[in-house]
Amino acid sequence: MMHIKILGMGCRNCRTLEAYARQAAAELGIEAEFEEVKDMDKIMSYDVMMTPALVVNEKVKVAGRVPSKEEVKKLLAEEA
């Protein structure tokens, strides 16, 4: 099972990134567990200075921007 984390405080961009990640996983048929990480100490432990960030299987894939859904699909496919 893939572990996907959205790092951020729950802003609109964070919610958009989570929606894209959920849609991309579903379209790719990937079974995934999602987690929102809002604790700043935990976010900083990933060396992320700007949110939102996408973490897949404990690897930071994108930080400080919202990638397109197609980019998220590509990132998830690489980890599958």
Confidence of residue 8 (pLDDT cuts 50, 70, 90): very high
37-63: average pLDDT: 97
Secondary-structure breakdown of the chain: helix, strand, coil percentages, each rounded to the nearest 5: 40, 25, 30
- Which CATH number covers residue 16? 3.40.30.10
Query: In whole angstroms, what is the distance from residue 54 CA to residue 51 CA?
Result: 9
3-state secondary structure of 40: helix
Rounded alpha-carbon distances, angstroms, from residue 75 to 33, 38, 39 = 16, 22, 24
CA 59 to chain centre: 10
Instruction: Find the catalytic residue in 14, 32, 53, 66.
Output: 14
Total structural domains within the chain: 1
0.75 exceeded by the pTM? yes
Instruction: Find the catalytic residue in 11, 26, 49, 77.
Output: 11
Identify the domain containing residue 49 by its residue range: 2-79
Q: How many residues does the chain have?
A: 80
Q: How confident is the prediction for the chain on average, in pLDDT?
A: 97
Is residue 64 annotated as part of the catalytic site, yes or no? no
Is residue 68 annotated as part of the catalytic site, yes or no? no
